[in-house]
């Protein structure tokens, strides 16, 4: 049970956020540091406060879980799975199928350290995997990056809206830090979401029937399907870029960071502003589509310096470089292994850039 | 269908549960037979409007082209998991898949076992022809010892690859499954010229219907059809039927492994 105002871990907040949007089904396999999501949902399963929540099932594997999600999604259900790095890798075949079959679903990846078994600390090393497709066959996901516990609670509603609007999987890419971080939050008032599911496979009514398939053996037919998916994502690119700007209006240097790094950068911006440095922060909320429109606008305004702060060895920086098109200096501050930079390190880095 | 003293007539011609498209199945393949048995059962039970077919990967990947019901594609081997997702959300639906032995017993064995162990009210029809058909004749988990395939050119050596896996026996070891049966599906030649034994089709028709009935009663049902693949076995159709009877059916003898609800007696 939660109250409208509560003090929760990010993972717990995400679970309650999903329930409050009318989540129908959860299929998952436990993996640290995401397990509070299934644990919270298991506790709330059967709670009359969430009448839409019809199915909670722990699968025998990450692979079984994502395929159960596919089945439920094919019936038009609001369905989700949660996992972390190694499990996210195992789910990629299923996500590729879901993308090809245009099935709405929510997959949460609580990014831990990697590659391989890595460790349980926070990283943003799954950025490429989440934003560039991740599985086989060439497709894209919509990827959302919360940066606070309140956003962990509010993003499932956004995720399902986008998933059903564009009929595609949506990934919430968060990290071990935000998943385990406890913060005060107010749950937003979200009406239980209802979407068009007239395409679902729930039995043929009359002569018409629905076939949901990613297979198009005829070459021109698959070509047409792929063109359709491409134009869909071009539309997503145009209409769904989301980001938050913090003190960027007069900034000479703009920090670019998402998730927990954005919180650290926000602190650094405050310190630098007190010292008279004109610095701001662009926080991508959608990592895919990447908010390149904002970055291009900064360059056109004359911003010459950007600093990308991320918990990997250089992933989002490539999208920043693409968006700025070589017309500005793009520095980077990177941490991996589960470590995070301190705000003072970010301050120091920016001071080096403006000196 | 009429069932008089062992004579069993399977309705030919159009059915609302068939699209009417000619199948891509090779001449002599039991997939075509099974498609019709399923279509007849769905039609006679009057369940088309609440049926969902899950396509597996293999020769049955195009089942939705022939069976005129709602359908969704599953990744290779994962049909029981996809079916679970559908059925848990919509218990009123009749959900089934036709899987091959590579799909169900090799890459998808985990999904099959766990769905069976949970007693999911779904139906799996396993077409066991001891080889990868669609992929082009490679060794399957069910390939009999000594059989020459594209990946066992000197015959399957079980010292290297392990012995064939008996899916029906395996599933019958679990408490939950309600109906587990193995049927020999191919028609076989008789000593009389131009007369063939089609007992398998009769048994198959009954078993398909029983499997659906068991699902409607809330149980997990599984029917394994010992079948042929004359093209990848590199045999004539006639020879493949004999091989199925003499070799494959010895490794996988027909039988009723589980019938919790007693549907076979009714």
Q: What is the pLDDT of residues B46-81, one digit of tens each?
A: 999 999 999 999 999 999 999 999 999 999 999 999
pLDDT confidence of residue B10:
64
Q: What percent of chain B has pLDDT above 90?
A: 90
User: Which residue out of A201, A208, A218 would a mutagenesis test of the B interface target, given it has the greatest number of B Cβ atoms within 10 Å?
Assistant: A201
* A81/A108 Cα distance (integer angstroms): 6
For chain B, give the number of residues: 266
Q: Which of A130-144, A332-346, B105-119, B186-200 has the lowest mean pLDDT?
A: B186-200
Q: Are B36 and B67 in contact (CB under 8 A)?
A: no
CA distances from B81 to A45, A57, A67, A200 (A): 21, 11, 5, 18
Contact residues, chain B, for A211 at CB < 8 Å: 64, 70-72
Q: Are A213 and A261 in contact (CB under 8 A)?
A: no
Cα distance between the two ends of chain A: 52
pLDDT confidence of residue A240:
98
Q: Are A233 and A141 in contact (CB under 8 A)?
A: no
Per residue in A54-72, pLDDT (tens digit) is 999 999 999 999 999 999 9
Nearest Cα to Cα of residue A289 among A131, A166, A179, A139:
A131
CB contact under 8 A, A24 and B89: yes
**What is the Cα B163 distance to its own chain's centre?**
21
Tokens describing residue A41: 């949902």
Reply yes or no on whether the pLDDT at B2 is more than 50: no
- Whether complex ipTM tops 0.90: yes
Q: Are B148 and B232 in contact (CB under 8 A)?
A: no
Whether the pTM exceeds 0.95: the reply is: yes
Per residue in A220-247, pLDDT (tens digit) is 999 999 999 999 999 999 999 999 999 9
Contact status of A64 with chain B (Cβ, < 8 Å)? yes
Q: Judging by beta carbons within 10 Å of its beta carbon (0-12, 13-18, 19+), is residue B21 exposed, middle or buried?
A: exposed
Tokens describing residue A118: 């890595």
Q: What average pLDDT does range A69-84 have in this prediction?
A: 98
pLDDT confidence of residue A4:
83
Please name the helix (run of DSSP H) or strand (run of DSSP E) that holds residue A165, with its range, or none. helix A149-166
Query: Which among A63, A67, A211 has CB closest to B71?
Result: A211
Residue of chain B with shortest Cα separation from A103: B72
Q: Are A307 and A354 in contact (CB under 8 A)?
A: no
**Please, which residues have CB within 8 angstroms of residue A102's CB and are 6 or more apart in sequence?**
A167, A168, A212, A229
* B126/B117 Cα distance (integer angstroms): 17
Burial code of A32-57, b = ≥16 C-beta within 10 A, e = fewer? ebbbbbbebbeebbeeeebeebbbbb
Reply yes or no on whether the pLDDT at B1 is more than 50: no
CB contact under 8 A, A94 and B78: yes
Q: Are B225 and B254 in contact (CB under 8 A)?
A: no
To the nearest whole number, what is the mean pLDDT of chain A?
Answer: 96
Contact status of A101 with chain B (Cβ, < 8 Å)? yes
Residue of chain B with shortest Cα separation from A211: B71
Residue of chain A with shortest Cα separation from B50: A203
Beta carbons within 10 angstroms of residue A276's beta carbon: 6
* B211/B123 Cα distance (integer angstroms): 6
A206: left (phi over 0), alpha (psi -120 to 50) or beta: left
Q: For B60, which DSSP code? A: G
pLDDT confidence of residue A278:
98
pLDDT confidence tier of residue B5, bands split at 50, 70 and 90 = very low
To the nearest whole number, what is the mean pLDDT of chain B?
Answer: 95
Q: What average pLDDT does range A326-338 have in this prediction?
A: 97
Q: Are B51 and B70 in contact (CB under 8 A)?
A: yes
Query: Could you tell me what percentage of chain A is helix, strand and coil, using 3-state DSSP and rounding each to the nearest 5?
Result: 40, 20, 40
Q: For B105, which DSSP code? A: I
How many inter-chain contacts (A to B, CB under 8 Å) are there?
131
Cα distance between the two ends of chain B: 17
CA distances from A188 to A84, A156, A160 (A): 26, 11, 15
Contact status of A212 with chain B (Cβ, < 8 Å)? yes
């Amino acid at each position: 049970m939660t109250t409208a105002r509560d003090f929760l871990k990010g993972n717990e907040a995400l679970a309650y956020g999903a329930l409050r949007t009318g989540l129908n089904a959860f299929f998952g396999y436990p993996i640290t540091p995401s397990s509070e999501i299934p644990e919270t949902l298991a506790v709330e399963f059967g709670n009359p406060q969430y009448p839409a929540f019809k199915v909670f099932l722990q699968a025998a594997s990450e692979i079984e879980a994502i395929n159960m999600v596919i089945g439920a999604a094919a019936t038009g259900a609001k369905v989700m799975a949660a996992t972390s790095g190694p499990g996210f890798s195992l789910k990629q075949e299923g996500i590729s199928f879901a993308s090809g079959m245009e099935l709405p679903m929510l997959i949460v990846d609580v990014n831990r350290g990697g590659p391989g078994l890595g460790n349980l600390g926070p990283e943003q090393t799954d950025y490429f995997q989440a934003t560039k497709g991740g599985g086989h066959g060439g497709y894209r996901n919509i990827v959302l990056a919360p940066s606070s516990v309140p956003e962990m609670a509010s993003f499932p509603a956004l995720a399902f809206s986008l998933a059903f609007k564009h009929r595609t999987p949506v990934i919430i890419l968060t990290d071990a830090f935000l998943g385990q971080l406890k913060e005060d939050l107010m749950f937003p008032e979200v009406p239980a979401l209802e979407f068009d599911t007239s395409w679902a496979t729930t039995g043929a009514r009359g002569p018409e029937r629905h076939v949901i398939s990613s297979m198009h053996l005829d070459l021109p037919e698959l070509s047409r399907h792929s063109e359709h998916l491409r134009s869909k994502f071009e539309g997503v690119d145009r209409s769904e870029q989301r980001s938050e700007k913090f003190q960027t209006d007069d900034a000479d240097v703009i920090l670019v960071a998402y998730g927990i790094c954005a919180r650290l950068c926000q602190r650094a911006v405050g310190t630098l502003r007190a010292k008279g440095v004109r610095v701001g922060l662009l926080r991508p909320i959608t990592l895919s589509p990447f908010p390149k429109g904002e970055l291009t606008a900064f360059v056109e305004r004359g911003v010459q310096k950007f600093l990308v702060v991320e918990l990997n060895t250089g992933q989002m920086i490539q999208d920043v470089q693409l968006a700025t098109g070589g017309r500005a200096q793009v520095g980077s501050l990177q941490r991996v292994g589960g470590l995070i930079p301190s705000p003072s390190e970010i301050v120091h880095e920016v001071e080096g850039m403006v000196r | 269908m009429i069932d008089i003293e062992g004579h069993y007539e399977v309705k030919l011609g159009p059915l609302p549960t068939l699209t009417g498209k000619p199948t891509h199945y090779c001449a002599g393949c039991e997939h075509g037979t099974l498609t019709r048995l399923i279509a007849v059962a769905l039609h006679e039970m009057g369940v088309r409007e609440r049926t969902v077919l899950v396509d597996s990967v293999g020769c049955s990947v195009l089942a939705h082209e022939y069976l005129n019901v709602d359908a969704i594609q599953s990744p290779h081997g994962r049909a029981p998991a996809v079916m679970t997702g559908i059925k848990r959300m919509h218990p009123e639906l009749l959900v089934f898949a036709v899987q091959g032995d590579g799909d169900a017993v090799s890459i998808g064995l985990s999904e099959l076992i766990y769905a069976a162990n949970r007693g999911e009210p779904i139906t799996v029809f396993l077409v066991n022809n001891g080889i990868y058909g669609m992929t082009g004749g490679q060794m399957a988990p069910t390939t009999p010892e000594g059989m020459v395939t594209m990946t066992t050119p000197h015959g399957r050596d079980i010292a290297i690859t392990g012995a064939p896996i008996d899916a029906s026996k395996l599933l019958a070891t679990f408490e939950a499954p309600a109906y587990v049966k193995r049927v020999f599906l191919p028609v076989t030649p008789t000593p009389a010229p131009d007369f063939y034994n089609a007992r398998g089709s009769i048994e198959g028709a009954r078993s398909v219907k029983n499997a659906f009935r068991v699902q409607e009663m809330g149980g997990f049902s599984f029917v394994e059809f010992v079948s042929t693949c004359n093209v990848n076995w590199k045999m004539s159709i006639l020879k493949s039927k004999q091989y199925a009877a003499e070799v494959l059916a010895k490794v996988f003898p027909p039988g009723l492994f589980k019938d919790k609800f007693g549907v076979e007696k009714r």
